[in-house]
Chain A
Amino acid sequence: MSKSKPAFSAIFDRDVVAYATLSLISIFCLLPFVWLILASFDKNASLFLRWPSPWTLNNYIGIFVREGGARWFFNSFVVVGTATIIVLLLAGLGGYALSRMKVWWKRPFLYTIILVRVVPPPALIVPLYKILLTGNEAVGSFVRSLVSPESVRPAMLVVGLIDGYFGLTLVFAAMQLPLALWIMKTYFDTIPHDYEEAALVDGANLFQRIRLVIAPLALPGLAAAGLFAFISAWGDFLMPLILLSSSELQMLPLGLFRAFLRVQQIDYGFLSALAILYMLPAVIAFGFARRYFVQTFSGGVKA
């Protein structure tokens, strides 16, 4: 980036060092994947590195043919996708509010929500389960009053807080919200107030201002916050493990966790293929989000 022109040898030397360092880091990052990729094409894969013999695609095909792979993908996308949308809506509005308002509890609130995330998930399982179960009973009686008895169970699979799409979606959204709020708040801090004030002069009310002025400006920040939330929720396995039971609701991490923990005999080929497919959406999301990250975070934190 520098505009000066040092001697040729200096560039050469420094670039060699840069290439060497970056190559080492890249090898470190890539090395662990070698086994995963080879094993996923190996009919007789084992836990350890070996050259596939014979090569096969059956591991991948089996995920959809023998197991409910398509269902797992669908459920993961529904739950994580909905959670991400909720995070975007709430963090967009909330982050804007946090950036613009001047109340005494703003900083304590921001620190509280980020620090409380330090509590490891196992400590939250039982309290979370209890509150969701209480909510679930309320939702249950509401649903029972609306639909015929035989539709109650299918309905609860969708709106139930325990063993239902809705509950897990809310949990994911709540868990991802604190970081998303931070990202959006710091992002809005970098957007000058001028635009809103111009809109205000034009007589726009708060909601018009948000829809017409703020939302378009917030897009890069939302992209970064949303993709962080998506990737993080996509990778979580403990909450689905505890909160879901019905086979209709099984998600990718559970399919994987189960395949891995079928105690006695693990099919490593199947497992690796599933792991790769499971990784893929997160990797794609990351590639997609990459260009927004720097834009969002640059100057994000005000000294």
Chain B
Amino acid sequence: MFRKTVLLGISVASVLAMGSAQAKTIRIAEHRPARIDALKKVVPEIEKKYNVQIEVIEYPAPEKDYLTKLLTELGAGNAPDIFTAPHGSDVADMVAAGYLAPITKELKAWDGYSQLFDVGKVMATSQDGQIYVLPAMLNVQQLYYRRDILEKAGISTEQPRTWAELLDRAKEIKAKTGAYGLLFPAGVTWGDGAFVEGFRLLLVGTSTPQIVTENGKLNLTGQGIKDVFGFYADLINNDLMPIQPLLEPEPWVAPKYEMFPAGKLVVTTGGSWGYIYDWGAQSKNPIPNVTQVVGTWEVPGKTEGQYVLVDLESPWAVNAKSPDVALAKKVMLELGSVNADVAYAQNLGNIPGRVDAAADPDFQKLTELVPILTALKNGTGTHLNTAEGFSAVAEGVARGTEALLRKQTDAAGAQKILVDYVKEVLGGDAVK
């Protein structure tokens, strides 16, 4: 049986293999069709440049399933040569496991290095001073609102200055239009989203904006965290935010792709991708004239300040156990080219991680994104320092906000859920 299978396999294989050129193969893991399409636009160029064969492997789209498969393979030592960490906050955990090859030397010698945004370089640098990921794209988040609806209802479109102002605005929206006034992602089914698309946007504007201590521990007992949970509790208890959809299996679909375009939700957190992917050219349910109709506010701080949150968007990394680390690094750096950045920006609406992408004629056509890139160049953008254990923090925040959504606890209780969860997962000594 076995011999027959082998023989059969070999004969099938040799037929399949005929005509294929002999070149080294680099395997790249990518997920979500929009990202894969963007990657495939630049692959032929890279293949030609380094005489390699690039195999793009489609991974499951939801981040949880993507990570399950990728980490199983990384753990076993069999992962693709190049892959992405979903968020900047996942990098530290992967570095600690020894999965990522350091690229400090190669990155600094790369001709694109000088063009990278400083904020990207800072976030890509690990606590040990080494760089393990390429900050090719940036994820820029703030608040998005329906200008048309606010104007029609005679509600101010001014930038809110404090949390209190923001809440009042949401209450006014609810009272005058009947629509939901504000959405911050929350709950367990949104996965990382409760933290990366919601919680941390508020956290950077509190009295304890950073949660990583100098020695790399996590401080989760600060007043800031409690205040953010308190803000969530206010939104939920005053019925300002749609709760039911957030408890369902795909919590983002109803509010972001249905309620916001329909005007039943007026303000939401969001990223630059909103103009392209959620409601723009790549959307199935686009809002006509999206850049006019949908305006942006920076996220107000609790009592002062305004914040635009910047994070690494799916930064590229090289597998430390790749059979040809050197070649994989060369190929990976090509994924930080202007061409690659623009391809991803076109499909997803994220912001290129390099300054010179602004001058690219194809990027210029993405008029929705140009002002955001310009603003980054001028130094807007706050980021959250990360450390090992951030994936546990994200899950703990999801659990805490879930309890609030279900009205089972208050701000202090939600904070306790977060602290207890992180302690349970990471052990007591990782938490200050």
Contact = CB atoms under 8 A, between A and B. Distances in A.
Interface in A197-253: 241-242, 245-247
A262 interface: yes
Contacts of A299: none
A126 interface: yes
Given A133-B77, A247-B58, A241 B9 contact: no
B78 A162 contact: yes
Interface stretch (B15-23, B158-166, B200-208, B405-413): B15-23
Given A154-B13, A155-B13, A158-B12, A242 B72 contact: yes
A133 B72 contact: no
A262 B32 contact: yes
A263 B62 contact: yes
Contacts of A143: 6, 10
Interface residues of A, number: 37
Interface string B268-287: 00000000011000011000
Interface in B1-32: 1, 5-6, 8-10, 12-14, 16-17, 20, 22, 25, 32
B65 A261 contact: yes
A265 interface: yes
B246 to A, nearest CB: 15
B76 interface: yes
Interface of A: 86, 125-126, 129-130, 133, 136, 142-143, 146-147, 149-151, 153-159, 162, 165-166, 241-242, 245-247, 257-258, 261-266
A150 B62 contact: no
Interface string B53-91: 001011111100100110011011110100000000000
A265 B284 contact: yes
B33 interface: yes
A92 to B, nearest CB: 14
25 contacts: A133-B78, A142-B6, A147-B13, A151-B13, A153-B17, A154-B16, A155-B9, A155-B10, A155-B14, A157-B13, A158-B5, A158-B9, A158-B12, A158-B13, A159-B9, A159-B10, A162-B78, A245-B59, A247-B58, A261-B60, A261-B61, A263-B62, A263-B250, A264-B252, A265-B284
B113 interface: no
Contact of A149 (B12, B22, B80): B22
A263 B66 CA distance: 12
Nearest to A137: B78
Contacts of B73: 129
B271 to A, nearest CB: 13
Given A129-B78, A133-B76, A159-B9, 10 more contacts: A150-B22, A151-B10, A151-B13, A153-B17, A158-B12, A159-B6, A241-B65, A242-B72, A261-B62, A263-B250
Nearest to A89: B1
B47 to A, nearest CB: 16
Most buried by B among A158, A165, A246, A247: A158
Closest 7 CB pairs of A and B: A158-B9, A155-B13, A154-B13, A154-B16, A151-B17, A159-B9, A154-B17
Contacts of A166: 5, 9
Interface string B132-175: 00000000000000000000000000000000000000000000
Contact of B72 (A125, A142, A159): A125
Contacts of A125: 72
Q: Interface residue tally of chain B, by bracket?
A: 35 or more
Contact of B14 (A142, A147, A157, A242): A147
Given A129-B76, A150-B22, A264-B252, A258 B13 contact: no
Contacts of B8: 158
A240 to B, nearest CB: 11
B277 A264 contact: yes
B257 interface: yes
Given A150-B17, A154-B16, A264-B257, A245 B10 contact: no
B76 A246 contact: no
B58 to A, nearest CB: 6
A261 B1 CA distance: 38
A159 B5 contact: yes
Nearest to B75: A126
A153 B277 contact: no
A243 to B, nearest CB: 10
A156 B61 CA distance: 26
A129 B71 CA distance: 12
A270 to B, nearest CB: 12
A188 to B, nearest CB: 23
A95 to B, nearest CB: 18
Interface string B315-334: 00000000000000000000
A242 B69 contact: yes
Contacts of B75: 126
B70 to A, nearest CB: 10
Contacts of B278: 264
Contacts of B61: 258, 261-263
Contacts of A149: 22
B155 to A, nearest CB: 29
B284 A263 contact: no
Contacts of B284: 265
B25 A153 contact: yes
A257 B9 contact: no
Nearest to B64: A261
A147 B22 contact: no
A103 B250 CA distance: 54
Contacts of B9: 155, 158-159, 165-166
Contact of A263 (B17, B25, B32): B32
A263 B68 CA distance: 16
Contact of A241 (B22, B69, B76, B250): B69
A265 B253 CA distance: 8
Contacts of B58: 247, 258
Contacts of A153: 17, 25
Nearest to A165: B9
A258 B60 contact: yes
Contacts of B22: 149-150
Nearest to B248: A47
B301 to A, nearest CB: 30
